[in-house]
Amino acid sequence: MPFTRRATKFALYFVVLIGAGIGARAHDPGISTAQGQMRGDVFELSTGFAPADAEQLLSSSARTSGNWTQKEFEAAHEQLATVASQLWELRAGGAVLVPRESRVELAAGDALNFHLVYPRPAGGFTLRALKLGLLPLGHREFVIIVDERGAIMARKLLSAKDNALDVEAAAGGAAGDTVGAAAESAPPAFFGFVKLGIGHIWMGFDHLLFLFALLVVCRSFRSSVGIITCFTLAHSLTLALATLDIVNLPSRFVEPAIAASIVFVGAENLACRGAEPRGRWALTFIFGLIHGFGFASVLRELGVGRGGQGVAMPLFTFNLGVEIGQIAIAAAVLPIVWRLRRDELFLRRGVPTLSVVVALAGLYWFLERTVFA
DSSP letters of 125-160? Answer: EEEEESSGGGSPTT-EEEEEEE-TTS-EEEEEEE-S
Would the pLDDT of 254 be above 60?
A: yes
User: Is the model more confident about 136 or about 41?
Assistant: 41
Is residue 42 classed as helix, strand or coil in its secondary structure? strand
Q: What is the mean pLDDT of residues 288-302?
A: 81
Q: Could you state, in order of their start, the residue ranges of all structural domains in the chain?
A: 2-27+204-369, 32-188
Beta bridge partners of 102: 116
User: What is d(CA 160, CA 96) in angstroms, rounded to the nearest whole number?
Assistant: 20
Least confident of 29-38, 43-52, 263-272: 29-38
Q: What is the pLDDT of residue 173?
A: 40
Least confident of 154-163, 173-182, 337-346: 173-182
pLDDT category of residue 229 using cuts at 50, 70 and 90 = very high
Would the pLDDT of 183 be above 50?
A: no
Q: What is the pLDDT of residue 81?
A: 87
Would the pLDDT of 59 be above 90?
A: no
Give per-residue pLDDT as tens, 126-173: 999 999 888 877 788 888 888 888 787 888 888 888 999 999 874 334
Q: Which of 36-45, 50-59, 163-172 holds the top average pLDDT? A: 36-45
Cβ proximity of 36 and 53 under 8 Å: no
Q: What is the pLDDT of residue 85?
A: 87
CA distances from 92 to 34, 68, 96, 98, 169 (A): 19, 36, 6, 11, 11
Would the pLDDT of 189 be above 70?
A: no
Q: What is the mean pLDDT of residues 104-126?
A: 85
Beta bridge partners of 91: 96, 126
Would the pLDDT of 24 be above 50?
A: no
As a whole-number percent, the residues of the chain with pLDDT over 70 amount to 80
Give per-residue pLDDT as tens, 299-327: 766 666 554 455 677 788 888 888 898 88
